[in-house]
């Protein structure tokens, strides 16, 4: 008897979950089909896959917490195109996903060096900029960069810097140099960023070498600097996403991470401060591209154009705290912030988000490294973990 009761309970629970899942599914698909009739549909029919299913869609893959999600609904409503939004944890994992061939993304948003790699491996297709009028609004500063010198494949999405995040209550004086990452002053109170490019990169900057060097001796010297510091117990640990919990909770004094994420942490712990070290640092651009084997090319262009608009950039900037490459949006943001929150935007925070020219002048972009150098990075990184 008891068994029957338990079984009934379990079944009804499962059924309940199933039904609520269906209901959600229905409301999602319901809204997009409604929007399809309401949408413009100007380019519908150009794409074979979309005519087959009678439904237009676009498959996007970006990073987690990297878009104001209301933009997705807005786009679906305006165009009737269903957005399948996916996320990947890092450029390397995205690359691995694409290599394994199990995914069918149309639009991806990789960072500079990964874009260069994808272009060199013929995995991206040239964009039709006539379908992306908003491209005009992108500041010239973010066009013609090393990863896409002739502006053929990309529309910049965000940009930012890498720097040192520190807890002002746990350090003696403001930090301005990478030196702190390799000295014993705060030994055991530092989190090392957990990817080889950034970790060895900060050592290369500190040593005064080019961060894109392929000189084995220089890379080894940089790796040795990190390894020595690790052996002396300078780092309490290594982490990427863990940094949020660690720094917000005041568990360690110093970490290396990205400016946009610093601003999110700062919202939860105002004791935190950020610096772009004087020796220079990485500045990166994440840009939207369309994969060579994309099925929904027209929809992908529409999506890119929508995201590149000033309104979308303002909403995104406000949500994810990464700076926009859209000149108009970047300029308007302080006013937008004041209007939204009823208080002026802290100039200091604004300059951390959108690093001023003099800061960018000492920063450089990661370029794609040749396969041997990547393998060397990987080997040295594993040695560090042994």
Partner 1 sequence: MKNKISWLAAPYVIWMALIVVAPIIMVVIYAFTTAQGGITLDNFARMGTYTVIFTRSFQLALVATIICLLLGYPLAYVMAKEGPGFQRIAMVLIMLPMWVNFLLRTYAWMAILENNGILNNFFEAIGLFDLINGIFGTDLTYFRMIRTQGAVVLGMVYNYLPFMVLPIYSVIIKLDHSLLEAARDLGANSALVFRKVIFPLSLPGVLSGVTMVFVPSVSTFAISRMLGGNNQMLLGNLIEQQFLGGAYNPYLGSAIALVMMVIVIVCMVVMNHFGEGEEQAVML
Element housing 324 (H / E): none
Count Cα neighbours of 69 within 13 Å in the Cβ-side half-sphere: 7
Region 202-241 residues binding partner 1, contact defined as CB under 8 A: 235-239
Neighbours of 77 (CB within 10 A): 15
Minimum distance, C-beta of residue 100 to partner 1, in the bound complex (Å): 8
State which of residues 1, 4, 217, 371 lies at the interface with partner 1 (CB under 8 A). Answer: 371
* Secondary element (H or E) of residue 113: helix 112-120
Task: Give the C-alpha separation, 4 to 264, whole Å.
Answer: 50
Smallest distance, partner 1 to C-beta of residue 240, A: 9
Single out the segment in contact with partner 1 by CB under 8 A; choices: 45-53, 274-282, 327-335, 374-382: 374-382
Span from 250-258, 276-284, 307-315, 334-342 in contact with partner 1 (CB under 8 A)? 250-258
Any contact of residue 197 with partner 1 (CB under 8 A)? yes
Alpha carbon distance 28, 26 (integer Å):
5
Q: Are 241 and 193 in contact (CB under 8 A)?
A: no
Q: Measured from the CB atom, is 72 or 204 closer to partner 1?
A: 204
Separation between Cα atoms, residue 177 and residue 254, nearest integer Å? 12
- Using the rule CB under 8 A, is 242 a contact of partner 1? yes
Which of the stretches 3-11, 204-212, 248-256, 272-280 binds partner 1 when contact is defined by CB under 8 A? Answer: 248-256
CA atoms of 4 and 76, how far apart (whole Å): 46
Closest approach of partner 1 to the CB of residue 77, in Å: 33
Q: How far is the CB of 13 from partner 1 (least distance, A)?
A: 12
Asked whether 80 and 35 are in contact (CB, 8 A), the reply is: yes
275, 163 Cβ separation under 8 angstroms: yes
Least distance (Å) between residue 191 CB and partner 1: 8
Smallest gap from residue 319 Cβ to partner 1 (A): 23
Q: Which is nearer to partner 1, 82 or 117 (CB)?
A: 117
Whether the Cβ atoms of residue 310 and residue 326 lie closer than 8 Å to each other: yes
Q: What is the DSSP letter of 356?
A: -
Q: In this chain, which stretch among 245-253, 287-295, 311-319, 347-355 interacts with partner 1, using CB under 8 A? A: 245-253
Q: What is the DSSP string of 359-380?
A: HHHT-B---PPPHHHHHHHHHH
Residues binding partner 1: what is the number (CB under 8 A)?
34
Q: How far is CA 340 from CA 35, 79, 325, in A?
A: 28, 26, 21
Please, which residue, 33 or 238, has the CB nearer to partner 1?
A: 238
217/371 with CB nearer partner 1: 371
Q: Smaller CB distance to partner 1: residue 231 or 361?
A: 231
Residue 157 and residue 200 in contact, taking contact as beta carbons nearer than 8 Å: no
In angstroms, give the least distance from the CB of 320 to partner 1: 22
Residue owning tokens 């679906």: 76
- As a whole number of angstroms, the distance between CA 48 and CA 30 comes to 23
Given 99, 168, 169, 176, the residue binding partner 1 (CB under 8 A): 99
In the list 51, 96, 168, 340, the residue contacting partner 1 (rule: CB under 8 A) is 96
Closer Cβ to partner 1, 148 or 236, answer by number: 236
By CB under 8 A, residue 110 contacts partner 1: no
Nearer to partner 1, 236 or 286 (CB): 236
Residue 109, both tokens: 């948003």
Other C-beta atoms closer than 10 Å to the C-beta of 100 total 8
334 binds partner 1 (CB under 8 A): no
Contact between 95 and partner 1 per CB under 8 A: yes
Burial of 151 (0-12, 13-18, 19+ CB in 10 A): middle
List contacts with partner 1 (CB under 8 A): 89-90, 92-93, 95-96, 99, 188, 191, 194-197, 235-239, 242, 245-246, 249-252, 371, 374-375, 377-378, 381-382, 385-386
């Amino acid at each position: 008897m008891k068994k029957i009761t338990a079984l009934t309970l379990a079944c009804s629970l499962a059924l309940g979950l199933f039904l609520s899942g269906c209901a959600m599914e229905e409301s999602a698909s319901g809204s997009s089909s409604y929007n399809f009739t309401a949408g413009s549909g100007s380019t519908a029919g150009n794409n074979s896959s979309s005519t087959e299913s009678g439904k237009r869609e676009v498959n996007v893959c970006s990073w987690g917490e990297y878009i104001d999600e209301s933009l997705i609904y807005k786009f679906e409503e305006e165009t009737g195109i269903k957005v399948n939004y996916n996320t990947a944890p890092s450029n390397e994992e995205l690359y691995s996903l694409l290599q394994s061939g199990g995914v069918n993304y149309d639009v991806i948003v990789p960072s500079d060096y990964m874009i260069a790699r994808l272009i060199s491996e013929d995995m991206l297709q040239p964009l039709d900029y006539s379908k992306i009028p908003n491209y005009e609004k992108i500041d010239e500063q973010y066009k013609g960069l090393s990863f896409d010198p002739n502006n053929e494949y990309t529309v910049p999405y965000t940009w930012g810097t890498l720097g040192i995040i520190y807890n002002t209550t746990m350090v003696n004086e403001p930090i301005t140099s990478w030196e702190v990452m390799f000295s014993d002053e705060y030994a055991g109170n530092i989190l090392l960023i957990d990817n080889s490019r950034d970790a060895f990169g900060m050592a290369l900057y500190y040593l005064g070498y080019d961060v894109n060097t392929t000189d084995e001796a220089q890379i080894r010297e940089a790796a040795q600097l990190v390894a020595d510091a690790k052996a002396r117990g300078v780092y309490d640990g290594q982490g990427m996403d863990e940094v949020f919990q660690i720094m917000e909770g005041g568990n360690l004094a110093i970490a290396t991470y990205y400016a946009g994420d610093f601003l999110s942490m700062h919202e939860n712990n105002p004791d935190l401060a950020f610096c772009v070290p004087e020796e220079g640092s990485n500045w990166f651009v994440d840009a939207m591209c369309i994969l060579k084997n994309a099925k929904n090319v027209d929809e992908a262009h529409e999506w890119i154009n929508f995201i590149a608009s000033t309104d979308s950039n303002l909403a995104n900037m406000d949500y994810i705290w990464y700076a926009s490459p859209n000149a108009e949006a970047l300029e308007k943001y302080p006013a937008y912030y004041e209007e939204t929150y009823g208080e002026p935007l802290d100039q200091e925070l604004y300059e951390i988000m959108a690093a001023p020219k003099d800061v960018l002048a000492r920063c450089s972009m990661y370029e794609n490294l040749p396969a041997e150098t990547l393998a060397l990075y990987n080997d040295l990184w594993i040695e560090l973990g042994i």
